[in-house]
């Protein structure tokens, strides 16, 4: 059994490809701020996908009450979470990615170097944690059209010279061309709901995803409940009316939208559908999600 020591307080795990390389530029500033406050720290740079989880897992075995910061976007935060969940470590986010959606639940400031001084001395607070099949997520998992957009965007990015917003717009257009509503049965706590045509479903602990879209405005990350948003299938033309409202969180009163609050949900579909959980993409017939109340200590930036 490995004996843990307590000689270090802060670990920064930097994803060098997040934010188009923006994270690497933050390293000298992180070092300067930590040394200014005379705080013990380590800084690790990931070398491949999933490496962040491996780094976090190794460090939390060695150090008690470690504060682990994901330097990157929501995808980096999710990777680090996989290594931190179940330990006594606290998790923080220096938001330097593209979307930085989870931190929006707590503050409007997303400039990493503005937030860092407010993070290093902030007291961690217990937040709910979601477990989907054999992985964890903090923010939102979704199935259907929006996950199809992620899948098609990733596909287009493999083509030379198609990157960034061009790939994302292309992903939307390709998803519209190929659009296919899916069928599923939802088991929400003790309630069973069958839907034959679903545009998308979202299973939310936080409010925002996709770069600030207010997908599930009722979601609160520390209330012990999962908010499930199920949207009936609509035609291609109605999507252009629906999504501007979806982006602003004004879709919840539309007749196509059904929202439930629960502690667990199971979704079963006769065919595989794309599922996106905090940036991780899957094709699944079935997913099981449970809320782990106060399951993670999260470092929320202190007030100015």
The model's pLDDT over 31-90, given as tens digits with 9 standing for 90+, comes to: 999 999 999 999 999 999 999 999 999 999 999 999 999 999 999 999 999 999 999 999
Q: Residue 187, Cα to own-chain centre: how many angstroms?
A: 23
Taking residues 20-24, report their average pLDDT: 85
Name the one residue in this structure whose structure tokens are 């770069």: 211
Taking residues 123-145, report their average pLDDT: 96
Which CATH number covers residue 52?
A: 3.40.50.10330
Q: Please give the pLDDT value at position 304.
A: 63
Domain total in the chain: 2
Same domain, 53 and 160: no
Q: Please give the pLDDT value at position 243.
A: 81
Q: Please give the pLDDT value at position 2.
A: 45
Kind and range of the H or E run holding 166: helix 164-177
Q: Which has more pLDDT, 236 or 273?
A: 273
Same domain, 144 and 247: yes
Q: Please give the pLDDT value at position 149.
A: 86
Q: Cα separations (Å) of 65 from 53, 83, 206, 293? A: 17, 14, 25, 20
Q: Which has more pLDDT, 46 or 175?
A: 46
Domain-located, residue 129: no
Same domain, 85 and 162: no
Same domain, 161 and 44: no
Taking residues 100-111, report their average pLDDT: 88
Asked if residue 151 has pLDDT above 60, the reply is yes
Same domain, 116 and 155: no
Asked if residue 7 has pLDDT above 70, the reply is no
Asked if residue 179 has pLDDT above 60, the reply is yes
Domain stops at, among 89, 121, 153:
121
The average confidence (pLDDT) of the chain is: 91
Domain-located, residue 231: yes
Neighbours of 3 (CB within 10 A): 6
Same domain, 281 and 155: yes
- Binned at pLDDT 50, 70 and 90, residue 4 comes out as very low
Asked if residue 6 has pLDDT above 70, the reply is no
Q: Is 142 helix (H, G, I), strand (E, B) or coil?
A: strand
The model's pLDDT over 247-282, given as tens digits with 9 standing for 90+, comes to: 899 999 899 999 999 999 999 999 999 999 998 899
Asked if residue 135 has pLDDT above 80, the reply is yes
Q: Does residue 138 contact residue 127 with C-beta atoms inside 8 Å?
A: yes
Which CATH number covers residue 167?
A: 2.60.200.40
**Residue of 55, 101, 94, 91 whose CA lies nearest to 219:** 101
Q: Given its phi and psi angles, is residue 7 left (phi above 0), alpha (psi -120 to 50 degrees) or beta?
A: alpha
Q: Percentage of the chain with pLDDT > 70?
A: 96
Asked if residue 1 has pLDDT above 70, the reply is no
Domain that holds residue 84: 10-121
Taking residues 180-196, report their average pLDDT: 95
Q: Which has more pLDDT, 210 or 50?
A: 50
């Amino acid at each position: 059994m490995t004996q843990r020591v307590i000689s270090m307080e802060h670990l920064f795990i930097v994803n060098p490809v997040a934010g188009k390389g923006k994270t690497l530029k933050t390293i000298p500033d992180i070092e300067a701020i930590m040394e200014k406050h005379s705080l013990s720290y380590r800084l690790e740079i990931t070398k491949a996908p999933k490496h962040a989880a491996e780094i976090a897992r190794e460090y939390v075995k060695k150090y008690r009450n470690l504060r682990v910061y994901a330097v990157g976007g929501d995808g980096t935060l999710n990777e680090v979470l996989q290594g931190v969940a179940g330990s006594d470590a606290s998790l923080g986010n220096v938001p330097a990615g593209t979307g930085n959606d989870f931190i929006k639940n707590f503050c409007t400031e997303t400039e990493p170097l503005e937030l860092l001084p407010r993070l290093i001395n902030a007291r961690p607070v217990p937040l709910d944690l979601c477990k989907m099949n054999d992985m964890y997520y903090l923010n939102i998992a979704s199935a259907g059209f929006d996950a199809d957009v992620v899948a098609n965007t990733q596909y287009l990015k493999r083509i030379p010279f198609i990157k960034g917003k061009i790939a994302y717009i292309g992903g939307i257009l390709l998803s519209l061309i190929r659009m296919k509503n899916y069928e599923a049965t939802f088991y929400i706590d003790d309630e069973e709901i069958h839907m034959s045509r679903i545009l998308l479903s979202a299973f939310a602990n936080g409010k925002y995803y996709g770069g600030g879209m207010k997908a599930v405005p009722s979601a609160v990350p520390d209330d012990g409940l999962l908010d499930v948003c199920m949207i009936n299938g609509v035609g291609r033309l109605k999507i252009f009316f629906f999504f501007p409202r979806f982006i602003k969180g004004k879709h919840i009163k539309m007749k196509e939208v059904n929202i439930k609050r629960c502690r667990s949900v199971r979704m079963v579909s006769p065919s595989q559908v794309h599922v996106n959980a905090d940036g991780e993409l899957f094709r699944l017939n079935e997913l099981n999600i449970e809320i782990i109340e106060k399951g993670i200590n999260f470092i929320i930036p202190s007030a100015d």
